[in-house]
Amino acid sequence: MHIVILVLYLLLMAGIGLWFSRAKQVATGDDFVFAGRQLPRPVMIGTLLATWVGSGTIIGGASFAYTYGPLASIFFLAGTPVGIIVLYLLATRIRRSSSYTVPELLERRYGLAVRIVAALITVLAYTGITAYQFTGGGQIISAVTGAEPTTGAIVVFVLVAFLAFGGGLKSVAWSDFVSAVLIVVSLLLALPLILGTEIGGWSRYWDGLPEASRSLGGGLTPLQLLGYFLPLFLLILADQNMYQRFGASRNEAEARTSAAGFFVSSFFVTVPVALLGSAAFLLYPDIVPDQAVLSLAGEGALPSVLGGILLAGALAFIITTGSSFLLSGAGNVVYDVCQRLLGWEMDDRRRLRVHRIAILVIAVIAYVLGRYFPTVLELQMYSYTVYGVAIAPPVLAIFLWKRASTWGALIAMSLGVVVTIVWEQLDQPYGVNSVIISLPVAVIALVLGSLAIPNRTRTDAADVEGEPDLA
């Protein structure tokens, strides 16, 4: 039954990809990157949710809940709703900017050098995020079919690349919408069955957890909890996918309403994942934490049909998230590197061809990269931190601080990446996640660099939009 449901889902995704790959659906760069700016509101909300919630939540978040408990998961998963609130406040201005990429937005304020550095960082981080979607998807296919995880990862690699390659954001957004409905329904149905039928009620669930898992921190220090909160929070604030989704909305009001829908719908995923992930510890105390939610579906704790739907839903989010980050990262190659830096003259036909070639190249690199990281959570935190620390401060400064300068942004991005990589290579001394060290370094560098070397002539994105700066 699980295999049948999984195959039906994969065929459905392939069908969506084929439908939106038709030439009349994707004729211009706007069609490929912004879906013609005609996405309906439910699809907008679904694509925001499915783009953000992928392997990092279904596997990484569940792994965290399994290890540290449901209360500590609040800190890990809270970066999503808190970040969405900030995006809600900025949604109108993000839609108005209508940038193909975040580095393009950065250039308007800081210049070409910042754009190119930001593009390189984005491609690096998004390749890593795509890589752990392949890894997580391979684990699901392995759990269902018994195939090797590497074989499953190849299947996910092919489908993710196909969705992004064929119809661009149109196929990605509609597959996102279908996937969002599938996973939300399956999680909400699974929750009462696991906590009620399998465990025997809330009190038995709570009393059965280890003492540390019932504490607010789950045995982690406040500094360690902050180290898990910040990467997700920073990533969503500057996530190019979010900016492109808002740019794809029909108008500014739709962008803001979609952000509100995204906020509400995020709880229908994060809360069940935290509860189910920690509940899996009671039923399967000896499994690998990455398998927390997957084990509930694959080991018979749920009815066969619902278990299959949950597995397909988990794979759905992983595939749609992977295709979104793959499509977005390839956009940096096209618009920031080939078109802006190298000065290639490209009509719509050539631009689409280059975009698709970039998708295939990044997909291959991501698959190879995924072989070097043993767990989804490890690769997730690494990729989130590199991107969030380097990009979020200068992006937010566009809207919040008029005095941020080109040199301040360049120094902040460079130090953010270097400090993150060095701290990770030192194996996180004192058990402190790299974001705790690299984020203050990046913010201080942005402020001091901007004050020491201000721009002689400055184009302020906020002023161009006709809105007052918030600082």
> Residue 470's pLDDT is what?
37
Specify burial of residue 357 (Cβ count, 10 A radius: 0-12, 13-18, 19+): middle
> Residue 328's pLDDT is what?
86
Least confident of 63-72, 94-103, 408-417: 94-103
Mean pLDDT of the chain: 82
Q: How far apart are CA 91 and CA 93, in angstroms?
A: 6
Element (DSSP H or E) covering residue 389? helix 376-400
**Contact yes or no for 50/30 (Cβ under 8 A):** no
> Residue 59's pLDDT is what?
75
Instruction: Name the percent of the chain lying above pLDDT 70.
Output: 88
Highest mean pLDDT among 158-162, 272-276, 372-376: 272-276
Q: In 78-221, which ranges are continuous DSSP H helix? A: 79-97, 102-110, 112-145, 149-167, 169-192, 202-208
For residue 371, give Cα distances in angstroms to 130, 151, 348, 385. 12, 12, 35, 20
Asked if the model's pLDDT at residue 308 lies above 50, the reply is yes
> Residue 426's pLDDT is what?
86
Q: How far apart are CA 259 and CA 85, in angstroms?
A: 8
Count the Cβ atoms, other than its own, within 10 Å of residue 368: 12
Least confident of 14-18, 208-212, 360-364: 14-18
Name the pLDDT band for 305 (thresholds 50, 70, 90).
Answer: confident
> Residue 22's pLDDT is what?
60
- The answer to whether the predicted template modeling score (pTM) of the entire model surpasses 0.85 is no
Q: How far apart are CA 85 and CA 99, in angstroms?
A: 21
> Residue 168's pLDDT is what?
65
Tens of pLDDT, residues 194-253: 998 889 888 999 999 999 889 988 888 888 888 888 888 887 888 887 887 777 777 788
Q: How far apart are CA 190 and CA 55, in angstroms?
A: 18
CATH of domain 2-28+41-99+116-376: 1.20.1730.10
Element (DSSP H or E) covering residue 391? helix 376-400
Interval 301-317 mean pLDDT: 81
Question: Token match 């004729």: residue?
Answer: 27
> Residue 55's pLDDT is what?
61
Token pair recorded at residue 101: 């990429």
> Residue 413's pLDDT is what?
94
Name the pLDDT band for 33 (thresholds 50, 70, 90).
Answer: low
Asked if the model's pLDDT at residue 459 lies above 50, the reply is no
**Contact yes or no for 80/270 (Cβ under 8 A):** yes
Name the pLDDT band for 56 (thresholds 50, 70, 90).
Answer: low
Name the pLDDT band for 467 (thresholds 50, 70, 90).
Answer: very low
Instruction: Please state the domain extents for the chain.
Output: 2-28+41-99+116-376
Q: How far apart are CA 57 and CA 307, in angstroms?
A: 18
> Residue 25's pLDDT is what?
52
Interval 22-32 mean pLDDT: 56
Query: Residues with Cβ < 8 Å from 419, sequence gap 6 or more?
Result: 389, 434, 437, 438, 441, 442
Q: How far apart are CA 115 and CA 366, in angstroms?
A: 23
Interval 309-315 mean pLDDT: 81
Task: With CA atoms as reference, report the closest residue to 251 among 395, 100, 91.
Answer: 91
Helix (H, G, I), strand (E, B) or coil at 407: helix
Instruction: Name the percent of the chain lying above pLDDT 90.
Output: 20
| Identity of residue 294 | L
Interval 302-315 mean pLDDT: 82
Tens of pLDDT, residues 113-149: 999 999 998 888 888 888 878 887 888 888 788 888 8
Name the pLDDT band for 419 (thresholds 50, 70, 90).
Answer: very high
